[in-house]
A and B are shown apart, each in its own frame.
Chain A
């Protein structure tokens, strides 16, 4: 579980800054994020809408939407910098070294091409596999992600598949070239819980089998608890807490992490509170961020220092770091 500790990181995000807009109206959606992902590790990134988690994941692949740019920092894969690489070099890395699974497989798959053909294309493009061999590889790729009778499934079109099946196809494509790093952006959010459980199980199996490192992005703390070895909590473009999964859920230190957990009713809890904990207010817009700690207007513990000075990222335990002035003062 602590594989992260004793290995140099495979993927390293170092003080990354991503901005939207022009001079004068710049919005920083990722502001100085540093994260490490070790080989075989699953790092969960959790946060609410607008926290920058999707932009962060897209920046790793150089797939930022137009108008967004990396304004600072480094992304390194096995020690080599990805920031500043040409589109051509990035294309070599995408699919081969790093690949991605998106939330909505219906929009990510081509509706008029049979899925077998779409998977085969990955092998032809990235591994120069001949047409026939690529087709056989596509069948095997589908089998590996638990699709039944893959020989006939390859002839199906995306619309003929259920949501869960489409997500399996996406994962098969993403893993086709055995990438070192898989970025999964809300891969189960569009699925029903029983299907979600199947896909989460698939992630666990694939990890054991191929030792793939996974950057798993989700808004769902429950899903993160299921799959992640470590978790980074993102708020308004900054990491506010980072810890081993067990530490984060057993002993959350940042008021935001604690608030999120307290605000979430659990279906099989022994008792439900008379009133759920509320985090007051809403996430501020990226062009109207408060001074000091970004969480201070919603924080029950905020002091004058929180309102003026951004807190440093302090180590509070083994592999446990928190950006909060008050977290050091016990619970």
Chain B
């Protein structure tokens, strides 16, 4: 194995998670869902990696598998320089003090019978080696770091709004000074005005503590704002990965292009012209062979139907899994700049579908979009 830079916090190789659904009266054979399929990624200290994708792409399973909250089926996870896949449950529990998670639902993830003090004490009780007498200061410090004051210590979660609850969830995760914080849709349940507060909070905490973040979200705007790099997932696989501004401003993989163009933006100018992608995401129970995206891909070629593309370097610190983007091997390359139309590719559906991938920016909203 190549030696890792000292700044490396997490290295994941070939991580997979399969779920077996029991057979029933009508289906004798157990069915297998490949929720996470051969995912490799890295995270440096103080860095934020975003994981985006639509429902069913495996992003939440991945976030839990990284902490072994869901046991991965295969692959290796190196965290702080050691492989955590070999750790016993007791050792793993000990290791988790360095890796914390914040969930989406600030209503469901806080025990309603515990006060704020209890909630923030709980992780300390589980993990801290300090004397209980010293906890008080750490609790107040964590609470103040998320912008709340000590007067709320004896109140219960139901007394708080969604945004405040999410702050409590973050205080709970950060009180142990973890080196890795995973956020699973941490702002999705929040209103716009509150979402900005929480996003700013996450960014500020990272500046102050140097914690590495992995933020899982379907909200591309939030990802762009808090992340340094982003990985785009489709049906359990990473299809594109790279610096977040490059990936979102100049997406390369056909799915990323469609995904970015599909996000409605609150402005009238410079919007990407988008003709909707036909069809829906195939069932993860029966993913298509070859490239998982080929059934909906407007530029798919014959090879895409049989051969699964590898995630390879495409320059600029970016990786993509697309036969058309693989250097050297590609019969037709996708254009590197956005406004140019895609080349005619044998096997592509129709001209209009091709147009859906050429994100011509429209200067106004009049007329047909």
Q: B223 contacts which of A195, A219, A245, A267 (Cβ < 8 Å)? A: A267
Whether, in the assembled complex, A282 has its beta carbon less than 8 Å from a beta carbon of chain B, the answer is yes
| Bound-state Cα–Cα, A36 to B268, Å | 23
Whether, in the assembled complex, A278 has its beta carbon less than 8 Å from a beta carbon of chain B, the answer is yes
Query: Which of chain B's residues 306-335 have a Cβ closer than 8 Å to chain A?
Result: none
Query: Which of chain B's residues 211-270 have a Cβ closer than 8 Å to chain A?
Result: 218, 220-225, 245, 248-249, 258-260, 262-269
* Residue-wise interface mask of B (275-295) relative to A, using a CB-CB cutoff of 8 A (1 in contact, 0 not): 111001100000000000000
CB contacts (< 8 Å) of B265 on chain A: these are 222, 225, 266-268
CB contacts (< 8 Å) of B73 on chain A: these are none
CB contacts (< 8 Å) of A221 on chain B: these are 192, 266
| Bound-state Cα–Cα, A282 to B245, Å | 31
Stretch at the interface among A21-29, A103-111, A255-263: A255-263
Q: B264 contacts which of A200, A260, A298 (Cβ < 8 Å)? A: A200
CB contacts (< 8 Å) of A198 on chain B: these are 276-277
Considering only CB atoms, which chain B residue lies closest to A246 in the complex? B268
CB contacts (< 8 Å) of B266 on chain A: these are 221-222, 224-225, 249, 261, 264, 266
| Bound-state Cα–Cα, A164 to B195, Å | 26
Instruction: Assess A267 versus B221: contact at CB under 8 Å? Given A225-B267, A275-B200.
Output: yes
Cβ-defined contact, B264 with A220, below 8 A: yes
Cβ-defined contact, A49 with B277, below 8 A: no
Instruction: Assess A193 versus B248: contact at CB under 8 Å? Given A264-B266, A266-B224, A266-B267.
Output: no
Whether, in the assembled complex, B191 has its beta carbon less than 8 Å from a beta carbon of chain A, the answer is yes
User: How many interface residues does chain A have, given as a range?
Assistant: 35 or more
Considering only CB atoms, which chain B residue lies closest to A200 in the complex? B264
CB contacts (< 8 Å) of B109 on chain A: these are none
* Residue-wise interface mask of B (181-198) relative to A, using a CB-CB cutoff of 8 A (1 in contact, 0 not): 000000000011111110
Query: Which of chain A's residues 141-176 have a Cβ closer than 8 Å to chain B?
Result: 162, 164-165
Q: Please give the distance in Å from B158's CB to the nearest CB on chain A.
A: 14
Q: Please give the distance in Å from B271's CB to the nearest CB on chain A.
A: 8
Whether, in the assembled complex, B348 has its beta carbon less than 8 Å from a beta carbon of chain A, the answer is no
Cβ-defined contact, B223 with A260, below 8 A: no
Whether, in the assembled complex, A226 has its beta carbon less than 8 Å from a beta carbon of chain B, the answer is yes
CB contacts (< 8 Å) of B352 on chain A: these are none
- The size of the chain B interface, using a CB distance under 8 A, is 48
Cβ-defined contact, A197 with B274, below 8 A: yes
Cβ-defined contact, A245 with B224, below 8 A: no
Cβ-defined contact, A193 with B262, below 8 A: yes
Whether, in the assembled complex, B105 has its beta carbon less than 8 Å from a beta carbon of chain A, the answer is no
Whether, in the assembled complex, B199 has its beta carbon less than 8 Å from a beta carbon of chain A, the answer is yes
Cβ-defined contact, B264 with A223, below 8 A: yes
Considering only CB atoms, which chain B residue lies closest to A263 in the complex? B196
Whether, in the assembled complex, A272 has its beta carbon less than 8 Å from a beta carbon of chain B, the answer is yes
Query: Which of chain B's residues 36-85 have a Cβ closer than 8 Å to chain A?
Result: 54-55
CB contacts (< 8 Å) of B218 on chain A: these are 192-193
Whether, in the assembled complex, B161 has its beta carbon less than 8 Å from a beta carbon of chain A, the answer is yes
Whether, in the assembled complex, A1 has its beta carbon less than 8 Å from a beta carbon of chain B, the answer is yes
Q: Please give the distance in Å from B199's CB to the nearest CB on chain A.
A: 6
Q: Please give the distance in Å from B255's CB to the nearest CB on chain A.
A: 9
Instruction: Assess A246 versus B364: contact at CB under 8 Å? Given A219-B192, A267-B220.
Output: yes
Instruction: Assess A276 versus B369: contact at CB under 8 Å? Given A197-B274, A265-B221, A282-B194.
Output: no
* Residue-wise interface mask of A (98-124) relative to B, using a CB-CB cutoff of 8 A (1 in contact, 0 not): 000000000000000000000000000
Instruction: Assess A249 versus B268: contact at CB under 8 Å? Given A195-B280, A267-B220, A268-B249.
Output: yes
Query: Which of chain B's residues 327-369 have a Cβ closer than 8 Å to chain A?
Result: 364-366, 369
Q: Please give the distance in Å from B197's CB to the nearest CB on chain A.
A: 5
Q: Please give the distance in Å from B345's CB to the nearest CB on chain A.
A: 21
Instruction: Assess A192 versus B224: contact at CB under 8 Å? Given A164-B280, A246-B364, A278-B200.
Output: no
Cβ-defined contact, A265 with B225, below 8 A: yes
Q: B225 contacts which of A220, A268, A272, A298 (Cβ < 8 Å)? A: A272
Query: Which of chain A's residues 222-258 have a Cβ closer than 8 Å to chain B?
Result: 222-226, 245-246, 249-250
| Bound-state Cα–Cα, A79 to B268, Å | 33
Whether, in the assembled complex, B163 has its beta carbon less than 8 Å from a beta carbon of chain A, the answer is yes
| Bound-state Cα–Cα, A144 to B141, Å | 59
Whether, in the assembled complex, A326 has its beta carbon less than 8 Å from a beta carbon of chain B, the answer is no
| Bound-state Cα–Cα, A42 to B249, Å | 30
* Residue-wise interface mask of A (188-204) relative to B, using a CB-CB cutoff of 8 A (1 in contact, 0 not): 00001111111011001
Q: Please give the distance in Å from B223's CB to the nearest CB on chain A.
A: 7
Cβ-defined contact, A194 with B276, below 8 A: yes
| Bound-state Cα–Cα, A226 to B277, Å | 16
| Bound-state Cα–Cα, A324 to B269, Å | 26
Whether, in the assembled complex, A269 has its beta carbon less than 8 Å from a beta carbon of chain B, the answer is yes
Q: Please give the distance in Å from A230's CB to the nearest CB on chain B.
A: 13
CB contacts (< 8 Å) of A275 on chain B: these are 200, 203
| Bound-state Cα–Cα, A187 to B15, Å | 36
Whether, in the assembled complex, B272 has its beta carbon less than 8 Å from a beta carbon of chain A, the answer is yes
CB contacts (< 8 Å) of A210 on chain B: these are none
CB contacts (< 8 Å) of A93 on chain B: these are none
Instruction: Assess A264 versus B264: contact at CB under 8 Å? Given A48-B193, A194-B258, A201-B276.
Output: no
| Bound-state Cα–Cα, A260 to B222, Å | 14
Q: Please give the distance in Å from B241's CB to the nearest CB on chain A.
A: 16
Cβ-defined contact, A245 with B191, below 8 A: no
Instruction: Assess A268 versus B277: contact at CB under 8 Å? Given A48-B191, A246-B365, A275-B200.
Output: no
A-B contact pairs, 22 of them (CB 8 A): A1-B366, A165-B280, A192-B54, A193-B264, A194-B276, A201-B275, A223-B264, A249-B268, A260-B193, A263-B192, A264-B221, A266-B224, A266-B265, A267-B220, A267-B248, A268-B224, A268-B249, A268-B260, A269-B224, A275-B203, A276-B225, A283-B193
A-B residue pairs, 5 tightest by C-beta: A222-B264, A267-B220, A279-B193, A221-B266, A263-B196
Starting from the known contacts A193-B259, A194-B262, A222-B265, 8 additional A-B residue pairs (CB-CB under 8 Å) come to: A194-B281, A249-B266, A249-B267, A263-B193, A266-B266, A278-B200, A282-B161, A283-B191
Residues of B within 8 A of A (CB): 54-55, 161, 163-164, 191-197, 199-200, 203, 218, 220-225, 245, 248-249, 258-260, 262-269, 271-272, 274-277, 280-281, 364-366, 369
